[in-house]
Amino acid sequence: MTKRILILSVFVVASCGLAYELIAGALSSYLLGDSILQFSTVIGCYLFAMGVGAHLSKYVLDEDVLSRFVDIELGVGLIGGLSAALLFVTFSWMAAPFRIMLYALVFLIGMLVGMEVPLVMRALNARQTAFNELVSRVLTFDYLGALAVSVLFPLVLAPYLGLVRTGFLFGMLNVGVALWTIHTFRAELKNVAARLLRAAVVMCLLACGFVVSDRLVHWGEHGLFGDEIVFSTSTPYQRLVITRWKDDLRLYINGNLQFSSRDEYRYHEALVHPVLQSLPWARSVLILGGGDGLALREVLRYPNIQHVTLVDLDPAMTNAFTHRPELVKLNKGSFSDPRVRVINADAAIWLQENDDSFDAAIVDFPDPSSFALGKLYSVPFYGILKKHVAANGLIVVQSTSPFFAPHAYWTIDATLREVGFHTTPYHVYVPSFGEWGYIIASTQNNYTPPTQYRLPLRYLNADTTREMFSFPPDMQRLPMEPNRLNNQSLVHQFEQDWRNVIR
């Protein structure tokens, strides 16, 4: 019976150890971007620390193995359980030491986790377990625990509990293993009463953190964003936060500003009207991204448009902008228009699986700050999109800033040209973002910017349109290579461009 308890404890501690690693990688990716770099460095630091911990375990005396195992479980539970909350608050209120805190916590947790399995194996060995059976059982349950968490984390834990609450949950599981061990092996442990008291204190602390985690996240996000948070949610795909200051609503995705209600009309007028003004015959429009319904709002102003299909990955986004009154007011109830069909799906997969054709396509994805987003700016993606737009139709792509991220901007232009499009780059000044860029793509080299508009607009007219399509000397075209899936050069260019701006 005692052997089975020790073996089952391996399953739990392996699950907890991997959970802390995934939390650190995911949180650093959310906050710092460049998911491959963050996960690679977190995993490398964690595995190295596990090696250090495994080495240190040999200095534990045989008669102290179970006592030290309990102490380590309490330490892992406390530090690992608090890790997500500590990292989030550190980034929100004092961003400078975030990386130091990140790798210090990852190393400390990894070192403690690295001591767990060797101590369990020594405890089993002391109970005269055959070596081949010992290794087989311990490693089997170790890997099964890792598998369980690797499946549950992206599908259940992160989207429904959130990273902070998930950290507290697994911390309590570690403490649970400690309490279980104390109860089962109390005759072999030293200072049982003191260890029970410590376990109770840590468990209470983690349970309180689990209960108040939403308030903790809200407090941290208030420090990060500064303004009142009117809506926030974690989804399987991203963290959505909407803030308000006086009459200004702002949407943030993974901490990155997507729009400010004070000037979003500049962005969306520039995105939509240079294309649709040039297609008075258009009847159907495809919008990729744009789950806030603001580009959709502008498209629906054209009475000739009969059908609009909007494909956005995250149902939480489209639901919020369909039902929350302050957001519905902003997009003028665009999702309730009978001409609109909303599809929550990966745009690349949806394009591959459907044969629908459109007169115009508006591509309004977030910036290519990760490889998941970078694929939506790649040669294969634009090649597939090309098949869904009429030969005399137009495509417009949100293309980041030609001033702050010129290499990324002109990489998008080169990618569109690689699949046979003729491109017309342009830019607009949006106070919340600075200079922002777009690219119109067509299979026929006959696009001419409008000189007038059929609709009354707040920003666009003949003069502002002429300025949009003229690039000053400090935003001229750069010779760039297309963005291909095998290397995703665009993501690297984007990260480097914005890193230079921050410096």
Point out the residues that are catalytic: 364
Amino acid (1-letter code) at residue 215: R
Task: Classify residue 337 by burial, with Cβ atoms within 10 Å: 0-12, 13-18, 19+.
Answer: middle
- CA distance linking residue 59 with residue 435, whole number of Å: 60
Q: Given the DSSP bridges, would you call strands 358-364 and 434-442 parallel, antiparallel or unpaired? A: unpaired
Of 168, 114, 120, 147, nearest to 8 by C-alpha is 120
- CA distance linking residue 258 with residue 398, whole number of Å: 12
What own/partner pairs with CB < 8 Å and gap ≥ 24 does 484-489 have? 484/378, 484/379, 485/375, 485/378, 485/379, 485/380, 488/371, 488/374, 488/375, 488/378, 489/411
Sign of the Cα pseudo-torsion (175, 179, 181, 186, in order):
positive
- CA distance linking residue 323 with residue 133, whole number of Å: 58
Q: At 488, phi and psi to the nearest 5? A: 45, 55
Amino acid (1-letter code) at residue 365: F
- CA distance linking residue 88 with residue 215, whole number of Å: 13
SS3 for 437-484 is: EEEEEECCCCCCCCCCCCCCCCCCCHHHHHHHCCCCHHHCCCCCCCCC
CA-to-CA dists, residue 430 to 67, 334, 382, 435, 468, angstroms: 62, 23, 26, 6, 12
- CA distance linking residue 358 with residue 425, whole number of Å: 22
CA angle 338, 342, 348 (to 5 degrees): 145
Is residue 437 within 8 A of residue 402, CB to CB? The reply is: yes
